[in-house]
Amino acid sequence: MKIYNTMSKTKEEFVPLHEGQVRMYVCGPTVYNLIHIGNARPMIVFDTVRRYFEYKGYEVNFVSNFTDVDDKIIKKANEEGVSASEISERYIAECEKDMRDLNIEPATTHPQATQEIDGMIHMIQTLIDKGFAYVAADGTVYYRTRRFKEYGKLSHKNIDDLRSGGRELLVTGDDQKEDPLDFVLWKPKKEGEPYWESPWCDGRPGWHIECSVMSKRYLGDEIDIHAGGEDLVFPHHENEIAQSEAANGVPFARYWMHNAFLNINSHKMSKSAGNFFTVRDIDAQYDPQVLRYFMLSVHYRSPLNFSAELMESAKTSYERIVNCAANLKFLKDRAQGEVCTPQEQTLLEEADGFRAQFEAAMDDDFNTADAITAIFELVKWINSHVNKAEEAPTKAFLAALEQELLSLTGVCGLIIERDDGLQGDEEAYVQEKIAERAAAKKAKDFARADAIRAELLEKGIVLEDTREGVKWKKV
Ligand code: AMP
Ligand code: ZN
C-alpha cells in the first residue's frame, strides 16, 4: 500500500508503527459557522482512507479535533451577544449533522481544544524548559523557531527565505518577538474574550499547539498519519512538527497527507472569499451521497472544480450504482436457489477481478477515481449478467453480487441502498397494493388498477411494469 508523503514528496510503502494498527490525526474545522463543501473534502477523503484501512484489517485509531476557541468564534459570539461556547457548541452539533448526512464515521475521539488546556500549558512549559520557547513582557509565549533546526522540512521552505506567516502573528504584537519567524503558543486575554489561567498570564492558546497536544494525548508521541487540507502544510503543520518534536524528542508523524482544494472558478472555496456553498445548500438540492460521490470521483491530491454540471454528472453516475443495487435486490427477493450453479461460480470468479482492480487503485495512494471506475465496471458487468430472461440467476448468485457491490461501495462510504425497501411496513404495504392492482388487472377492472397506481403516486411511490415484474421506487 503506497501513500504520498508530503514530507518526502514521494509515494512510500505504508509501514505502520505497530503491526495491524493505524494511528491517524486529521485537523478538524474551526466551528463558527456551517461548514462549506471545501471543509467537507478532507472529511470525506480521510474517512475513506480510514475505511480502506479498516477493510484491509487494520485497527484504526482516528482522531479529529474541533477548534472551539478562535478569533472568528469570538467575533461571531460578540456579534450575536452570546458566549463563545454557545457558538462553538451550536456549530459542533451542526457539523456533526452534516457528517452523519455524508456518512462520515464518527472519529474514535473528537477532542475539543477548550477541554485540553491543561495539556497545552504542560507542553508549552516543556518547550520553555527546553529552551524552545520564551515568555514576553506581557505574558505572551512564543516558539523560538530558529532553535528547531529542521524547521521547514515539511513545506520544503528554507528558513532564511521565510517571511513571518501564520494567523496569530497578525493579531499579536510582533515587536516583542526575538525573531519575526517566532509564533505564538499562548497569548494574553483581551476584554470580553474567554481565558484560562496559566503560569504566564490569563489567556488562551495559539492554534498550532492545540493539535500537537490533542494528537499526543489520544494517539501518543509518534503517530502513523497526520492529515488535512493542503493550506495546512505551512505554517500549521510545520509548526506542529516544531512543537511536538522539540517537546517529545521523537519524530511526530510518519506520513503527512494533504488533500488539494475544492475550487470554484479555479479559486479556493473559502468563507473569507465568500465563494462558498455550505453542505446544507447542497443537501437542499441533492442527496448528500451525491456530494460524497463527487468528492471521490477525483484523486484527493488533484484540485477539484465545483460546478453544477459536474454535480449533475455525479448524480447520474451515482444513481446508476443505486439502480443496479435496487435491481439486484428486486431480483434476489423473487429468485430461487440457495446454491450457485457451476457457471455462476465461474462468473463470480470473474467478478472478483473488479475487486482486485478496486484494491489496486486504493493501494496506489488511495486513488478513489480509479476505484470508482472499477465499481462502475462491476455495475456494467452485473447488468449484463443478471437481466437475462432465458436463464434466471439463482438467489445465491444475486446475493453474492449484491454483497460484492455493497462491500466496494461501503469502502467509499457510499450508501447505495434505497431506504424505501428497508422499512418493513412500507414494503409490505406497497407489495399488498401491487398484488391488489394485479388482481384488478386480471379481472379487467382497469379503473381500479389505475386508481391504485394513483393512490401510490400520491404517496410518492412510482410503479414500473418491467419484464421481471412490477418494481417500485420513491420519488
Ligand atoms: P478550517 O475550518 O478553515 O480550519 O478548515 C478545516 C479543514 O478544511 C482543513 O483541513 C482545511 O485545509 C480544509 N479546507 C478548507 N477549505 C478547503 C477547500 N476549499 N478545499 C479543500 N479543503 C479545504
Ligand atoms: Zn491541526
pLDDT of the residue at 468: 76
Question: Which residues are within 8 A (CB) of 330 and not within 5 positions of it... i.e. 6 or more apart?
Answer: 468, 469, 471
H-type alpha helices, 176-307: 207-219, 238-248, 279-283, 288-296
Q: Whose CA is nearest to atom 5 of ligand 1?
A: 29
Helices 238-248, 117-129: crossing angle, 10 deg rounding: 70
Q: How far apart are CA 176 and CA 140, in angstroms?
A: 9
Reported as a single tens digit per residue, the pLDDT across 338-383 is 999 999 999 999 999 999 999 999 999 999 999 999 999 999 999 9
Residue 244: predicted pLDDT: 98
Nearest CA to ligand 1 atom 8: 39
Q: Which atom of ligand 1 is nearest to the CA of 263?
A: 19
Query: For residues 380, 386, 388 and 394, what is the CA-based torsion angle, rounded to 10 degrees?
Result: 160
- List pLDDT tens digits, range 184-203: 999 999 998 999 999 999 99
Contact 256, 215 (CB under 8 A): no
Ligand 1, atom 15, lies closest to the CA of 39
- Which pLDDT belongs to residue 423? 52
Asked if residue 147 has its Cβ within 6 Å of ligand 1, the reply is: no
- Determine if ligand 1 sits within 6 Å of the CB of residue 126: no
Binding site membership of 236 for ligand 1 (Cβ less than 6 Å): no
- Half-sphere exposure of residue 213: CA atoms within 13 angstroms, side-chain side: 25
Give per-residue burial for 115-153: e unless 16+ CB within 10 Å, then b: ebbebbbebbbbbbeeebbbbbeebbbbbbbebbeebbb
CA distance 27 to 267: 22
| Binding site membership of 113 for ligand 1 (Cβ less than 6 Å) | no
Is the C-beta atom of 231 inside 6 A of ligand 1?
yes
Dihedral through CA 464, CA 467, CA 469, CA 471, nearest 10?
A: -30
Which cell is 172 given?
499579536
**Ligand 2 centre distance from Cα of residue 157 (Å):** 19
Nearest residue (CA) to ligand 1, atom 2? 29
Residues 6+ apart with CB under 8 A from 407: 55, 355
Residue pair 292/255 in contact by the 8 Å Cβ criterion: no
| Residue 254 to residues 91, 177, 407, Cα–Cα distance (Å) | 32, 31, 29
| Nearest CA-CA partner of 304 in 257, 265, 273 | 265
Q: What is the Å distance from ligand 1's center to 216 Cα?
A: 22
Look up cell 494498527; give the residue: 21
Q: So what's the pLDDT on residue 467?
A: 77
Indicate whether residue 262 lines ligand 1 (CB < 6 A).
Answer: yes
pLDDT of residue 159: 86
SS3 label, residue 113: helix
The C-alpha cell that represents 425 in the structure block = 411496513
Give pLDDT tens digits along the chain (475 positions).
999 999 999 999 999 999 999 999 999 999 999 999 999 999 999 999 999 999 999 999 999 999 999 999 999 999 999 999 999 999 999 999 999 999 999 999 999 999 999 999 999 999 999 999 999 999 999 999 999 999 999 999 988 877 644 444 444 456 799 999 999 999 999 998 999 999 999 999 999 999 999 999 999 999 999 999 999 999 999 999 999 999 999 999 999 999 999 999 889 999 889 899 999 999 999 999 999 999 999 999 999 999 999 999 999 999 999 999 999 999 999 899 999 999 999 999 999 999 999 999 999 999 999 999 999 999 999 999 998 767 889 999 999 999 999 999 999 999 999 765 445 577 778 888 898 999 999 999 999 999 999 989 888 888 988 877 888 887 7
Nearest ligand for residue 209 CA? 2
What are residue 225's DSSP bridge partners? 24, 255
Distance from residue 138's CA to the centre of ligand 1 (Å)? 32
**269 CB within 6 A, ligand 1:** yes
> What's the gap in Å between 66 CA and the centre of ligand 2?
9
CB 168 within 8 Å of CB 195: no
For cell 458487468, the residue is: 381
pLDDT value at residue 164: 46
Which residue in 255, 257, 259, 267 sits closest to 295, CA to CA?
A: 259
pTM: 0.89
| Atom 17 (ligand 1) nearest CA | 38
Q: Which atom of ligand 1 is nearest to the CA of 269?
A: 19
Instruction: State the Cα–Cα distance between residues 436 and 97, nearest whole angstrom.
Output: 40
Distance 140 CA to ligand 1 centre (A): 28
How many angstroms is it from 323 CA to the middle of ligand 2? Answer: 40
Q: Which residues contact 294 (CB under 8 A, 6 or more apart)?
A: 304, 310, 311, 314
- Beta strand residue intervals within 107-182, DSSP E: 133-135, 141-143
The predicted-structure confidence for 45-76, as pLDDT tens digits, reads as follows 999 999 999 999 999 999 999 999 999 999 99
Is the minimum distance from the CB of 228 to ligand 1 under 6 angstroms? yes
